[in-house]
Structure 1
Amino acid sequence: MLQIPQQIINDLFDHAKTGLPEEVCGYLAGTNSQVVKHFRLTNIDHSNEHFSFDPKEQFQVVREARKLGLEILANYHSHPETPARPSQEDIRLAFDPNISYVIVSLAAKLPDVKSFRIRGGEVEKEEIQII
């Protein structure tokens, strides 16, 4: 289970909306499955169907999280036009089996967020507890 404060959920929805029509992406950091900070990253693909982190930003964020005593718990990205579930590309590119993969969807009238664990191409839905 991933615990995420309501304010961070709101910030993820805001990031997804302000990034339209492109997908947005970033990291969620914390300890013991509890998210305490999110980091917005640039989608260098500038696409509404896929994303890639800016490697320089990615390295800086990982360094900053470690400096704060936090670990990267999840990466997140948005689906502007499709549901909050991993695409085949998301599954193929899920290289770290130790983190969660959070997807924010703007496909319906109300935004949606879901979390998944992806290991070896196998997808398992993960509960999100909003705190």
Structure 2
Amino acid sequence: MKIARELYDQLVAHARAEAPNECCGMVASADGVAVAVHPAENMAASPLRYEIDGKQQLEILDAIEDAGHELGAIYHSHTRTAPEPSQTDINLAFYPDSLYIIVGLKDPEPDVRAWRIVDGQVSEAELVVE
């Protein structure tokens, strides 16, 4: 997925604003290019996991569809660990067509990586910041 620097910076800013808890949200895309970031509230309010309220999730998905876009990625942050999918992340990956972006904040410089998670299988995906 390609992502503009401005949208990438929004992901990082959201993660930093929610720390020490994890942040979460969705990224709309068109033809493999991120076009909008949709921050969500982490209902779990936890540094170890995230949960998007079902009503808010539906509202975001409707907004993405109404704009003629697709769900390109679901994002969240890891505030204490590397930006790699945890077993919980893998177990709760219900959107095989979208990427999973994780913003790692354990080091002073954020580490943002994208993953494809399909049927429990994890592979790193390309995230190109333009």
Corresponding residue number in structure 2 for 1:114: 113
- Letter aligned with residue 100 of structure 2: Y
Q: What is the Cα deviation at residue 85 of structure 1?
A: 0.5
What's the secondary structure of 2:63's corresponding residue?
helix
State how 1:1-80 maps to structure 2 within 5 Å: 2-80=1-79
RMSD over equivalenced CA pairs, Å: 0.7
Alignment gaps of 5+ in structure 2: none
Number of residue-to-residue matches in the alignment: 130
- Under a length normalisation based on structure 1, what TM-score does the superposition of the two structures give? 0.97
Give per-residue Cα distances to partners, 1:43-94, cap 9 Å, x unaligned: 1001000011011111111111111111111100000111110011101111
Alignment gaps of 5+ in structure 1: none
User: Structure 2: how far apart are the matches of 1:63 and 1:95?
Assistant: 17
What's the secondary structure of 1:69's corresponding residue?
coil
Aligned identity (percent) is 34
